[in-house]
């Protein structure tokens, strides 16, 4: 419905405006071609009239003229006697040499013999022009119809290939703005409520304020990092220490849902960007907590060759697995979020030349990242 609301007016605007210009161009072409046809036939009638005058002067009588009457319908009016010598059609009244009506061309021309012994008005009628103009009319509008259909196909292709993806991005951005308001409002409300109730149970509400503040900090970091394109800052660091520090940031959030971390890790050093790898881990842990069932476990495996995180709860359908790294993509509106966390993870994995894969089903979701030292290419 959202697409049709905007696509149909744009499609109609494009096709109707194209049709307007097409009709204008076709009309101008038709009129110009019609004028050329008329001019060509005028020249033919003038030549025929000159030929009649030549025969009249040659023989000083109309006998040879009458032999040519089959070429065009002809009237011969004697100026001296004011009578028709020969008449084969009715001619409309008009001034000038030519007159055209109902796609029929009429001509009147004065001719005379030697010494003006015979003076005639020759009236000619040309109906061949009618067939040519009719054929021109149907040819022009037949071609215009084909062009209009072609324009319609182009409009359809442009809308489908260019506008619909743009519309999807606009829709996703609108959802993103709505979700941003909701996501920021929730921790702010917790902070405001906890500060008002702080005196009643300081330890409880201080913990709530910490959780909400870290949530806001994570939201800010995700938004800020998506607006930046920072170069890699490569250094050697201990990955297990980095993992331990990132897990501590999420302990309160995990405890609030009764979630327990089960960690299997080994200490080793890696040449990479510690900040970007930290954000990868942060987003994967945050997602795991968000989509885990209450009172469940999150399994984290860290080895020299890979980092793996497994949560139990909401799964990702097969048709959505290929879309989870698209920015603003969300497939579960109940758990909040902007749909930018995994897009950030994928971007940083690409920048650090790390492989990431996701498997989801049977109540569990697993993300696995293959770790390797960063090498400048």
DSSP letters along 76-123, please? EEETTTTEEEE--S-----SSSEEEETTEEEEEEEEE-GGGSSEEEEE
Average confidence (pLDDT) over 21-45: 91
What is the mean pLDDT of the segment spanning 105-131?
Answer: 89
**Given 99, 126, 145, which residue is the final one in a domain?**
145
Among 122, 145, 168, where does a domain finish? 145
> Which CATH number goes with the domain that contains 345?
3.30.565.10
> Is the residue at 169 inside a domain?
no
**Last residue of one domain, picked from the residues 145, 171, 191:** 145
Q: Does some domain include residue 301? A: yes
164 within domain boundaries = no
Task: List, in sequence order, the alpha helices (H) in the chain.
Answer: 2-59, 63-67, 128-158, 164-197, 202-226, 239-249, 251-256, 274-290, 318-321, 341-351
Same domain, residue pair 39 and 139:
yes
Same domain, 140 and 8: yes
Note whether residue 329 is domain-resident.
Answer: yes
The token pair at 249 is 């940031």
pLDDT at residue 28, as a whole number = 93
The chain-wide mean pLDDT, for the chain, equals 83
Could you tell me the pLDDT band of residue 372, with boundaries at 50, 70 and 90? Answer: very high
What is residue 299's predicted lDDT score, i.e. its pLDDT? 96
For residue range 160-214, list pLDDT tens digits in order: 776 666 666 666 666 556 656 655 765 777 788 788 888 888 887 787 788 778 7
- Same domain? 103 vs 238: no
The pTM of the whole model exceeds 0.85? no
Domain residue limits at 27:
2-145
Residue 284 has pLDDT above 70, yes or no: yes
Question: Does a structural domain hold residue 190?
Answer: no
261 in a structural domain: yes
Residue 160 placed within a domain? no
Same domain, 30 and 132: yes
Q: Are residues 140 and 241 in the same domain?
A: no
Q: Number of folded domains in the chain?
A: 2
My answer on whether 246 and 134 are in the same domain is no
Identify whether residues 133 and 238 lie together within a single domain.
Answer: no
Residue 212 is assigned to a structural domain of this protein: no
252 shares its domain with 353: yes
For the segment 80-103, the average pLDDT, to the nearest whole number, is 89
Q: Is 336's pLDDT higher than 50?
A: no
Q: Are residues 260 and 138 in the same domain?
A: no
52 touches 68 (CB < 8 A)? yes
Q: Are residues 245 and 362 in the same domain?
A: yes
The two structure tokens encoding residue 114? 């030697």
């Amino acid at each position: 419905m959202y697409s049709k609301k905007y696509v149909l007016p744009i499609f109609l605007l494009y096709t109707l405006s194209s049709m307007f210009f097409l009709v204008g161009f076709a009309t101008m072409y038709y009129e110009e071609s019609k004028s050329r046809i008329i001019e060509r036939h005028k020249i033919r009638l003038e030549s025929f009239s000159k030929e009649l005058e030549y025969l009249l002067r040659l023989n000083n009588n109309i006998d040879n003229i009458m032999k040519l009457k089959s070429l065009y319908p002809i009237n011969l009016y004697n100026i001296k006697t004011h009578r028709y010598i020969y008449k084969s059609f009715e001619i409309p009244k008009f001034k000038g040499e030519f007159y055209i009506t109902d796609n029929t061309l009429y001509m009147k021309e004065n001719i005379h013999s030697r010494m003006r012994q015979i003076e005639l008005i020759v009236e000619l009628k040309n109906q061949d022009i009618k067939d040519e103009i009719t054929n021109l009319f149907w040819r022009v509008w037949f071609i215009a119809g084909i062009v209009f259909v072609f324009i319609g196909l182009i409009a359809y292709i442009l809308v489908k290939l260019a506008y619909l993806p743009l519309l999807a991005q606009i829709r996703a951005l609108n959802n993103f703005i709505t979700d941003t308001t909701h996501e920021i409002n929730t921790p702010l409300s917790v902070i405001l409520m906890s500060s008002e109730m702080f005196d009643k149970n300081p330890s409880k509400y201080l913990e709530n304020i910490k959780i909400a503040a870290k949530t806001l900090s994570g939201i800010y970091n995700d938004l800020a990092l998506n607006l930046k394109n920072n170069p890699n800052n490569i250094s050697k660091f201990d990955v297990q220490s980095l993992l331990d520090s990132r897990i501590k940031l999420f302990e309160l959030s995990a405890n609030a849902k009764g979630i327990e971390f089960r960690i299997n890790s080994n200490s080793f050093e890696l040449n990479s960007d510690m900040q970007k790898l930290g954000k990868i881990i942060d987003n994967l842990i945050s997602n795991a907590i968000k989509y885990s069932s209450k009172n469940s476990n999150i399994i984290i495996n860290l080895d020299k060759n890979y980092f793996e995180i497994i949560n139990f709860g909401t799964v990702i359908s097969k048709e959505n697995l290929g879309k989870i790294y698209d920015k603003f993509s969300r497939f579960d509106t109940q758990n909040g979020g902007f749909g930018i966390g995994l897009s950030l993870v994928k971007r940083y994995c690409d920048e650090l030349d790390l492989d990431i894969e996701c498997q989801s089903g049977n109540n569990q979701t697993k993300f696995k990242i293959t770790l390797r030292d960063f090498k400048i290419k």
